[in-house]
C-alpha cells in the first residue's frame, strides 16, 4: 500500500482547540474516507505541528487529504529505504511486447508449461475453486475482453481457468510493464520473455495513454481475447478502486463485449506484499457480457463496467447469487 507523510500546521482555530486535538480526529476521518489507515502520529516542533505517517490504497484519492478544516496540510509521498536503494540500481527500461507469443511454437510450449504455471497452482492453492455463472459464456462469439478485480497475483490464473477451453487457448493477459517486463533481471521466471511465453502476458505501460493499448488492439485484430484488470493495481482492503478507461476504449473501438469476472478469496491466499501462499477457497463469479453502442462515451462505459463489477461483488458478499455449479478446475 502506498505510504505518505502528512505535515499539519494548525490554523488559529485549531490552536484554540489544541486540547481537543480536533485536527487529529479530522485527519483520521479523512484517511478512513479514502480507505487508508494511520500508521503513527507525532507532535513536532518547528514550522509544523503534527507529523503523520499514513497508508492509502488509492494514490489518486490521497490528494484529498490536503484539504484540512482546522489545519494546513502538506502531503509527501514516502518510500521504504530498502526499496529506494533497489530502485536506484534497477533499470527503468522495459522489454516487450513479443509478437512471437501467439505463434505456434510459443503456443505449443505454453501448453506444455500450463500444468505448472496455471492449473497446477490453481489446483494446489484454490481449495475448492468454484466457478459461478458459466452460462454467461454461451453468448460469446469471437474476441472478448475479460475484466476482473485485482487482489492477488493469482487473479490471472483464476480468470483464465474459469474461461471455456476455446477461450483459454486464445487469451492474453495485460500486465504492468514496470513490474513484469523490466530489463536487467537475472532470474529466469522474472524475464519479460518468460512472462510472454509461459503466461501469454503482454506489457501495458502505466500512464502510457491510448498508445499503451496498441498491442492489445493488435491481438484483438488477430482474433485473440484479452484479460485486463481495470483497477490498474492490486487492492489490499478488498474494495474496488476506480476503474481506468482502457477496457472501455478497446470495447468501443473494436466493438467487442466485456465480461466482468469477480474473484473472491485470492487475496487471502496471497495478499498484496506477501511472497507465500496459504490454501483457501476461491470463487469466480462470471457476469453477463456488456456491449456498448458505437459512439458511447468511454467515461459512461467505464462507469457501467464498474457498476457491473460492484454488483458481482455484492452478490458474493451477500450470497444472493444462485446455487454454485460444482467446483471446476480446467486442465
Residue 293 has pLDDT above 70, yes or no: yes
In this predicted structure, what is the pLDDT of residue 116? 86
Average pLDDT estimate for 170-194: 89
Average per-residue pLDDT in the chain?
Answer: 85
Residue 331 has pLDDT above 50, yes or no: no
In this predicted structure, what is the pLDDT of residue 11? 80
- pLDDT band of residue 328 (cuts 50, 70, 90) is very low
In this predicted structure, what is the pLDDT of residue 319? 64
Query: What gap in Å lies between CA 131 and CA 128, rounded to an integer?
Result: 10
- pLDDT band of residue 276 (cuts 50, 70, 90) is confident
Average pLDDT estimate for 175-181: 89
Which range has the worst mean pLDDT, 54-68, 104-118, 207-221?
54-68
In this predicted structure, what is the pLDDT of residue 321? 43
In this predicted structure, what is the pLDDT of residue 324? 43
- In three-state form (DSSP H/G/I as H, E/B as E, the rest C), the secondary structure along the chain is CCEEEEEEEECHHHHHCHHHCHHHHHHHHHHHHCCEEEEEEEECCCCCCEEEEEEECCHHHHHHHHCCCCEEEEEEEECCHHHHHHHHHCCCCECCCCHHHHCHHHHHHHHHHHHHHHHHHHHHHEEEEEEECHHHHHHCCCCCEEEECCCCCCHHHHHHHHCCHHHHCCEEEEEEHHHHCECCCCCHHHCHHHHHHHHCEEEECCCCHHHHHHHHHHHHHCCCEEEECCCCCCCCCCCCCCCCCHHHHHHHHHCCCEEEEEEECHHHHCCCCCCCCCCEEEEEEECCCECCCCCCCHHHHHHHHHHHHHHHHHHHHCCCCCCCCCCCCCC
**Digit-coded pLDDT (tens) for 9-41:** 888 766 666 655 677 888 888 888 877 889 999
In this predicted structure, what is the pLDDT of residue 16? 65
Between β-strands 145-148 and 126-132, what pairing exists: parallel, antiparallel or unpaired? unpaired
Quick one: what percent of the chain has pLDDT higher than 70?
A: 86
**Digit-coded pLDDT (tens) for 90-139:** 556 889 899 999 999 999 999 999 888 888 889 999 999 999 999 999 98
In this predicted structure, what is the pLDDT of residue 130? 95
Domains of the chain (ranges; CATH) run 3-86 (3.30.70), 99-317 (3.40.1130.10)
Q: 109 or 272: whose pLDDT is higher?
A: 109
Average pLDDT estimate for 177-198: 89
Amino acid at each position: 500500500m502506498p505510504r505518505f507523510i502528512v505535515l499539519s500546521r494548525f490554523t488559529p482555530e485549531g490552536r484554540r482547540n489544541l486540547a481537543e486535538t480536533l485536527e487529529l480526529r479530522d485527519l483520521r476521518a479523512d484517511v478512513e474516507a479514502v480507505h487508508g489507515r494511520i500508521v503513527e502520529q507525532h507532535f513536532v516542533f518547528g514550522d509544523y505541528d503534527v507529523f503523520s505517517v499514513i497508508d492509502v490504497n488509492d494514490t489518486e484519492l490521497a490528494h484529498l487529504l490536503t484539504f484540512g478544516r482546522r489545519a494546513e496540510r502538506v502531503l509527501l509521498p514516502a518510500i521504504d529505504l530498502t526499496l529506494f536503494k533497489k530502485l536506484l540500481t534497477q533499470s527503468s527500461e522495459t522489454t516487450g511486447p513479443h509478437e512471437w507469443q501467439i505463434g505456434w511454437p510459443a503456443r505449443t510450449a505454453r501448453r506444455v508449461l500450463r500444468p505448472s504455471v496455471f492449473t497446477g497452482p490453481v489446483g494446489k492453492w484454490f481449495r475448492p475453486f468454484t466457478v459461478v455463472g458459466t452460462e454467461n459464456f454461451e453468448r460469446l462469439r469471437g474476441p472478448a475482453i475479460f475484466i476482473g478485480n485485482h487482489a492477488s497475483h493469482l487473479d490471472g490464473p483464476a480468470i483464465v481457468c474459469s474461461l471455456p477451453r476455446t477461450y483459454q487457448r486464445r487469451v492474453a493477459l495485460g500486465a504492468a510493464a514496470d513490474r513484469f517486463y523490466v530489463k536487467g533481471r537475472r532470474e529466469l521466471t522474472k524475464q519479460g520473455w518468460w512472462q510472454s511465453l509461459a503466461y501469454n502476458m503482454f506489457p501495458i505501460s502505466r500512464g502510457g495513454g491510448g498508445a499503451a493499448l496498441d498491442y492489445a488492439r493488435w491481438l484483438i485484430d488477430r482474433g485473440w481475447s484479452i484479460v485486463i484488470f481495470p483497477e490498474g493495481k492490486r487492492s489490499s482492503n478488498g474494495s474496488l478502486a476506480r476503474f481506468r478507461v482502457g477496457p472501455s476504449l478497446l470495447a468501443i473501438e473494436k466493438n467487442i463485449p466485456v465480461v466482468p469476472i469477480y474473484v473472491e478469496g485470492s487475496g487471502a491466499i496471497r495478499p498484496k506484499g506477501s511472497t507465500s501462499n496459504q490454501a483457501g477457497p476461491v470463487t469466480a463469479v462470471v457476469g453477463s457480457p456488456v456491449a456498448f453502442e458505437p459512439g458511447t462515451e468511454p467515461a459512461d462505459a467505464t462507469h457501467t463496467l464498474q457498476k457491473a463489477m460492484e454488483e458481482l461483488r455484492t452478490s458474493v458478499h451477500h450470497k444472493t447469487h444462485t446455487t454454485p455449479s460444482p467446483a471446476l478446475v480446467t486442465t
